[in-house]
Amino acid sequence: MKVLVIENYPSAPAGLFGAWLERARGARLHVVSPEALDGAPEADLIVTLGSPSGAWEDIPWVHAQRRFLLDRLAAGTPVVGICFGAQLLASAIGGRAAPMGGRTFCGWYTNDHVADEVWRGPWVRWHGDHLEVPEGTEVLARDQGTVQAFHHRTPEGVNAVGVQFHPEVSAEYANYYATKTPDMLARAGTTPEAIAAQGAAVEGHEAALDALFTEMLRRAGVGGASRSAAGVTQTAAPHPVSMEA
């Protein structure tokens, strides 16, 4: 399986999800920046990742990527969007992303309303944006007034899956984020110590990740046998972090 990964920010890599795709699905990842989409190869799946930018911002590369995702969906390629990627995907299919007005999520959160327990969490969440999806799109998870996961199927039968949380982020990486985003933590009313304690308390995370990633691919219409996600790790990034999405 060939996977095109759009890395929208250097400190927001595919992380645990990318490692799982390689290990459990034998995927070959082709990583590109959002400015390099013109020459992006064909793929069996597109994964678009997080960014400090918002999908609602009037930025040329944001508009260009939205058109790119629509074109690839129309051509039959399924898409998985994570955080900013989910927001961009939602806006591409007729939904909407907008700032929450000063509110911010930073840390580990459980989704209150889920279509299945696989979406429940707790998962790392690091954004300050509200997400809406168009009528006919299935909401898979919702929490505190905003969509946290969704599944969309185009009229042509092509699938798109978005998660507003960060399943690709490990506890160690979340702790790293917490040291680099003090303003966001202040708005969220939390601290690096609290986030580290939340991560340390999470049990069975590798099995939960394997189940979630498997379901994400099933919803995206991408098959293949699953193996355990055990042993997949993510180390702290060497780049500065400023994650809003």
Residue 213 falls inside a structural domain:
yes
Instruction: Please indicate whether residue 168 is annotated as part of the active site.
Output: yes
Q: What percentage of residues in the chain have a pLDDT greater than 70?
A: 91
Task: Tell me, yes or no, whether 189 lies in a domain.
Answer: yes
> What gap in Å lies between CA 150 and CA 144, rounded to an integer?
15
Is 117 labeled as catalytic in the residue annotation?
Answer: no
Residue 68 placed within a domain: yes
Annotated active-site residue 166? The verdict is yes
Q: Is the residue at 238 inside a domain?
A: no
Domain-embedded: residue 243: no
Q: What is the CATH number of the domain that holds 20?
A: 3.40.50.880
> What pLDDT score does 224 carry?
52
88 and 62 in contact (C-beta within 8 Å)? Answer: yes
**Could you say which of 151, 152, 168, 244 is catalytic?**
168
| Mean pLDDT of all residues belonging to the chain | 90
Domain containing residue 195: 2-220
Catalytic: which of 130, 152, 166, 205?
166
Query: Could you tell me if residue 227 is inside a domain?
Result: no
- Comparing CA positions, the residue from 243, 199, 226 lying closest to residue 82 is 243
Which residue type, as a one-letter code, is found at position 136?
G
User: What amino acid is encoded at 114 in this protein?
Assistant: V
How many other C-beta atoms lie within 10 A of the C-beta of residue 15?
22
Q: What is the pLDDT of residues 102-159, one digit of tens each?
A: 789 999 999 999 999 999 999 999 988 999 999 999 999 999 989 999 999 999 999 9
What is the maximum span of the chain, computed from C-alpha positions, in angstroms?
48
Q: In this predicted model, which residue has the larger pLDDT, 11 or 210?
A: 210
DSSP label at residue 178? H
Decide if 230 is inside a domain.
no
Q: Which of 7, 83, 130, 151 is catalytic?
A: 83
CA dist list (Å): 207 to 151, 154, 204: 22, 31, 6
- pLDDT recorded at residue 128: 87
Q: CB-based contacts of 150: which residues, under 8 Å, 6+ apart?
A: 86, 90, 133, 137, 138, 139, 140, 161, 162
Residue 130 lies in a domain: yes
Task: Report the DSSP beta bridge partners of residue 96.
Answer: 132
- 3-state SS, residue 93: coil
The amino acid occupying position 194 is A
Structural domain total, the chain: 1
Using one digit for the tens of pLDDT, what is the confidence trace for 37-78? Answer: 998 999 999 999 999 999 999 999 999 999 999 999 999 999
